[in-house]
Amino acid sequence: MGPIQTSTTRNVLNPGPKRRADILFTLAVLVAIYLAWQLREVLLIIYVSALFAVVITPALSFVQRFKVRGRSPGKGLAFIVIVLALITILVLFFTLALPPVFENIKELAHDWPNRMAELTAKIRRLPFMSKFRAPNLEGYGSAIASNTYGVFKGVAGGIFGLFTGLILTGYFIFEGERVFEWGMSLVSHEHRDRLANTFIRAEKRMRHWLAGQFALMLILGSLSAVAFGLLHVRYFYALAVFAGMTNIVPFVGPVTSAALACIVAGMDSWQKMVGVIAFYLIYQQLENAFFTPRIMKTTVDLPPLAVIIALLLGGSLAGILGALVAVPTAALIAEFVDEYLVKRPSATSHVLAHEHEGAREW
């Protein structure tokens, strides 16, 4: 009678099928990674849309609390109300506040040579600057105006992407629960409840990110209104609102608002422009080192170092959108790390430690 062959023995003696399965699985993973890299821009828009569908759910619930003739609006109507309210605010702002600013920018561009001559004469009066020559200042001014136009042109071109994201966000709001249930159906029963609870806890933390972002926008808008008002910058109220609104976009938002404020201040005097630049330099240091880490620590429950690293990595990997969703993504990752990787002491170890402390006291 020959030796009994177990399943393990058979796999060792005949490893062919298992190796083929491992090779096929590895190839499938590599192909998936390659496709994800090729489609990274589309996948990023989808991810951002899903994220915003999660974080604006409390706003939808707030709108649904209002009753008209005893009936509350559904999710679809609440989403339409929020979108229309945002569009109305933006249209009113750009219609009423910005046209006077752009009219003055046109005047500045028309009178640019005379202003440059005046500025050069003032610089020559300074000590050690009597031989100052500015043959290229006019060219620099044209370049700045061209770059500013390019920035606003890029913003206008991104409107199409914005509406695409809004449509995707609406679909995620309406179909989110069904998609979540379908995803959980792919997980085995013994792990499904734990994974679902982890996602639910992460969802709560990610929703708090929007509250923290609104707080940062309000802080910049308020401080810039005070600073620009003290500097007597024209249209300081419009510039403050614009600064607060664009602050939701990391890096690009503050740069755009600072450039616009500098142009408006420079139409009056270079001292005001220097004051605006000084304000933005000081504020950026305060926001990066104090406001953002502490507000995100309170709302998203992330340490300040994790917030700063997330912003740097998100901006480096995916640009503006990456920096925009870096903090809520870090909250999502932190929840999974806390659930699946962090090793907590068991109840038995707590009891043993307590008994050991009691023995030491005796």
Residue 226: the pLDDT is 93
Q: What is the DSSP string of 169-229?
A: HHHHHHHHHHHHHHHHHTS-HHHHHHHHHHHHHHHHHHHHHHHHHHHHHHHHHHHHHHHHH
Residue 160: the pLDDT is 64
φ, ψ of residue 131 to 5 degrees: the values are -100, 15
Q: d(Cα 20, Cα 249) in Å, to the nearest integer?
A: 48
Q: Rounded to a whole number, what is the distance in angstroms from the first to the last CA of the chain?
A: 67
φ, ψ of residue 68 to 5 degrees: the values are -115, 115
For 354, the token pair is: 């307590």
How many residues are listed for the chain in this entry?
Answer: 362
Residue 224: the pLDDT is 92
Residue 49: the pLDDT is 86
What is the maximal distance between C-alpha atoms in the chain? 110
For 361, the token pair is: 């006291």
Q: d(Cα 328, Cα 331) in Å, to the nearest integer?
A: 5
Q: Report the DSSP beta bridge partners of residue 322.
A: none
Angle between helices 75-96 and 98-110 (to 10 degrees): 40
Residue 137: the pLDDT is 47
For 108, the token pair is: 């500045």
Residues 307-344 pLDDT 10s: 888 888 888 887 777 888 888 888 889 898 888 888 66
Residue 222: the pLDDT is 92
Residue 115: the pLDDT is 64
* Average pLDDT across the chain, whole number: 76
pLDDT less than 50: residues of the chain: 135-141, 144-145, 148-149, 151, 156-157, 347, 349, 351, 359
For 32, the token pair is: 């998936």
For 327, the token pair is: 């903090």
